[in-house]
Amino acid sequence: MTERPPVVELRNVRLQFEDNKVLDDVSLAVEPLERLVIMGQSGSGKSTILRLVLGILTPNSGSVFFKQFEISRLRRRKLQQIRTHIGMVYQYSALLSSRNVRDNIALPLEELTRDTPAEIDKIVDEKLEMVGMADVKDQMPSELSGGMRKRVSLARALVMNPELILFDEPSAGLDPVISSVIDELIINLSEKSKVTSIIVTHEMDSAFRIGTKMAMLYRGKIIEVGTPDEFKQSRDPVVAQFLSGSTEGPILEGSQDAIATK
């Protein structure tokens, strides 16, 4: 049986903004149906990886692939087509404040498909039901709590039935109980919808709850990749310090050199 290629692959990626080296020879592969958690300090370049996958940023050197497609080499129309296979859940939900929940979720369908209004309504209802938000369709984002907005954002990410979903700090701004609810929702929807996920976070409880594989980004490099259990047993001093939250170790010693654009 032919082995399926990675859904996402970074090969020797380097990215620099003026004198600020963000990613330094980063290679990383995300296999089908994996939930890869990318960990690292704030400003370490985690969210930059998501922007590279979406084609918003272009590496200075190296390659970024979505399946067999090299993102930076695609023409604009083809890149737009590829993006319909990728869902994105932003750090603070990024819902349009002037549109109600239904219209926020319907927007990708209205812009990118030829579905009729009745077909769009059916899909919106289905995705809202999946995230447990069927009764808020007519409400405005300002009427929702942070956790509710995050659920709506997740429904919007699912609306095109993507193969890949990118999560940028999905627990940001949420209390521990709601964070756990969102984590469980991400796991259940990933498995039910059979999608691959990349989750950027520095919240360790969420990382170990969600991830099937983990990668640690430090000073522009991926210093360790493995399963959650392998990470817990890591002998790398940076990984061990990051997981424990200790103030003793190499992270603070090199903090002035490690500042990078997120």
What does the pLDDT read at residue 43?
77
How confident is the model over 110-139, as a mean pLDDT?
91
Asked whether residue 181 carries a pLDDT value surpassing 80, the answer given is yes
CATH number assigned to the domain comprising residue 251:
3.40.50.300
Q: How many domains does the chain have?
A: 1
Would 7 be classed as within a structural domain?
A: yes
Look at residue 24 and give its three-state secondary structure: strand
Which structure tokens are listed for 57? 């940023």
Query: Predicted confidence band at 253 (pLDDT cuts at 50, 70, 90)?
Result: low
- Average pLDDT rounded to a whole number, residues 94-117: 90
The answer to whether residue 133 is domain-embedded is no
Whether 153 contacts 183, CB under 8 Å: no
**Tokens 């709601």 found at:** 178
Answer whether residue 186 is part of any domain: no
Q: Is the pLDDT of residue 261 over 50?
A: no
The boundaries of the domain holding residue 2 are 1-85+168-175+198-262
Query: What local confidence, expressed as pLDDT, does residue 171 receive?
Result: 83
| CA of residue 131 relative to chain centroid, distance | 17
The answer to whether residue 64 sits within a structural domain is yes
Residue 239 has pLDDT above 80, yes or no: yes
pLDDT for residue 192 is more than 60: yes
Q: What is the pLDDT of residue 245?
A: 83
Residue 217 counted as domain residue: yes
Q: Is residue 126 part of a domain?
A: no
In a domain, 36, yes or no: yes
Contact predicate 169/88, CB 8 Å: no
Tell me what the pLDDT averaged over the chain comes to: 89
Separation between Cα atoms, residue 184 and residue 223, nearest integer Å: 28
Give the pTM.
0.89
Is residue 92 one of the residues assigned to a domain? no
